[in-house]
Structure formats: C-alpha cells, structure tokens
A and B are shown apart, each in its own frame.
Chain A
C-alpha cells in the first residue's frame, strides 16, 4: 500500500468532511434564506470532495473498506483533519472566517493538485478547483462586507480572526513523506501554498480593514489524530446512525 498517498488522502478527506459537517450543523440557522442555502451548498461541495478523497484512501488501502467505512467507523484519534475545520460554530462572522481561511488554502491547493502526477489526485482536483473558486469568492465577499459593515460586525469578525489564527499554522505542516510527494510532483508544495495563502488573506483582510494577528504560537495535533475537545462530540453525532444500525440501507 502507498502510505504517503493514503495519509494525504485522509488528511484532505477528513478536513473536507469535518468542515462540511460543521457547515451542515448551520443548516436552517443562516442569517437569511438565500445565505442558508449557499452555505449548505458549500457544505455539500465539501462532502463531495471528502467522498472522493476518502474513496481514494480506501482504494489505496485495499482492505475492502469504503469511503463510508472510513467516515463512519473511525474514532476521533484516527481522524487527521486540520484543527481549523473542527472549530465549533459561534456566530456568522466566525463561521465565515473559518470558511475563508480554509477556502484560501483549498483553492490554490486544488489548482496545484490538478497538475499532479497521480491521476486520481489530479481528477479530484479537476472538480474541486471550480467549486473552490466559487467558495472563496463567496467567503471573501462576506469578509469584506462584514469588515466594512457595522462596528459590531467588524468586531465579531476581528475576534474570529484572532481566535482562529492559531489554527492556521497546521495547514502548512508537512512530514518527510509529504515532502517527497511534493518533490515528485504528486502534491503541491506546502511552502508555495503558504506564500499564496498569506498573500490572499492579507489582501482580503486589508480590504476589509482587519488586522492580521502577530505571529504567535500555532496549535498542532490534527495530523497526528490529537484533537480539540470538540471533535469527539461532533463525531459522536455524525456517526450515531451508522453505529447504531451498522447495516442499515437508505
């Protein structure tokens, strides 16, 4: 089994799945109907991405597990999502900030992954790049709008940025395995992604009148399966049905 591809597919699949579920939790709680639908659409796009990455992981593993098995029958410690994705929903500004920080990574990541020497990864990216282009257009619009909105909206947004910034470092962490994948042209380089990501977020924050937090300690652990206290609760809810009725079909 190709461990490097398996682990990378899990990292990306889990991040998309967990963020998708966070957005799904917001369903029917949007600020107004149209935005509620927009967020749920984005959640579904992310779920589609998760399905593709986890299917690839299952295939590479070759032990007869499916994407659903990986999503619904692993425990918290076996999840490798970025910690940013599991941060709980607080308010609309917070949700949009989490989304934007993630979108600003995912779009250039898919753009780079389209050129992957691994045809499965390139195929996933082919689809993802179009969706993520729309996602970042949507979330960056909200960042600018809320930043330039009322004192209240700006304060909530800045609070969200200060709160979430510490979870952004991990998105660019990589190990030797991933360094080799990047060198071999299988995945985009994390260093280059970070440069692009920083440029994007600084531009948008500048336009929105937000202050980029000073460099500080960055949280880590998601990629080792060490999560915040929030993931277990979320997974318990997400996995309840398949766990309670393991062979149910619907």
Chain B
C-alpha cells in the first residue's frame, strides 16, 4: 500500500483560558504550518462562542506523555493515602474555582 501523505501540516494542542487568572485547559488540537496559523485556527475552532480570553498553542510533538505501562507505578500508590486529599476541609461559601 502506498503511503498517504498528510498535507494538512503538523498537529498543535490548544489550551484555552476562560477567564483571567484561571488555569489554561486543554480544548483540543488543530493542524497548522506554524504558530501564528495555529493560533488563528485555534481561535476559529475553539473560541467563537465566548469560550476564552487567551489561547496557548503547543506543537503536539513537544508534549512529553506518560505511557500506559507507567500507570501502576505512577498513579496507584496515591489510592490508599486519603490524607493527601483535601476532603477534610470545608469550602467557604462564595469561593469559586476551587
């Protein structure tokens, strides 16, 4: 089978900040040939309905990801240590974005 050439450009991950001071959240990804195009495409795809105030775009291949085989050693040990979870505090009324 001949190799199909993808001519849509490299993939970029898009992070949107919905309000000032809130953390950026992953929104999805776009194709683009450089950063400016990635920003514009992200704006068109993910912020047209008032979703955000700011955008980060990051080349997908620059993201270092854990792999499924890491799962046990990375994440399991936290399961039995409930004192690591701040569930014993009450959140004051009026606190948003905890």
Contacts and interface: CB of A to CB of B under 8 A. Distances in A.
Contacts of A34: 8, 30-32, 41, 44-45
Contact of B40 (A32, A33, A137): A137
B37 interface: yes
A137 B45 CA distance: 16
Nearest to B34: A145
A38 B41 contact: yes
Interface in B75-91: none
B36 interface: yes
Interface in A170-205: none
B40 A141 contact: yes
Nearest to A137: B40
Contact of A38 (B7, B9, B44): B44
Interface of B: 7-9, 30-33, 36-37, 40-41, 43-45, 48
Interface of A: 32-35, 37-38, 41, 134, 137-138, 141, 145
The 10 tightest CB contacts between A and B, nearest first, are A34-B41, A32-B8, A38-B44, A41-B44, A34-B30, A37-B44, A34-B31, A138-B40, A32-B31, A141-B36
26 contacts: A32-B7, A32-B8, A32-B9, A32-B31, A33-B8, A33-B31, A34-B8, A34-B30, A34-B31, A34-B32, A34-B41, A34-B44, A34-B45, A35-B41, A37-B44, A38-B40, A38-B41, A38-B44, A41-B48, A134-B43, A137-B40, A138-B40, A141-B36, A141-B40, A145-B33, A145-B37
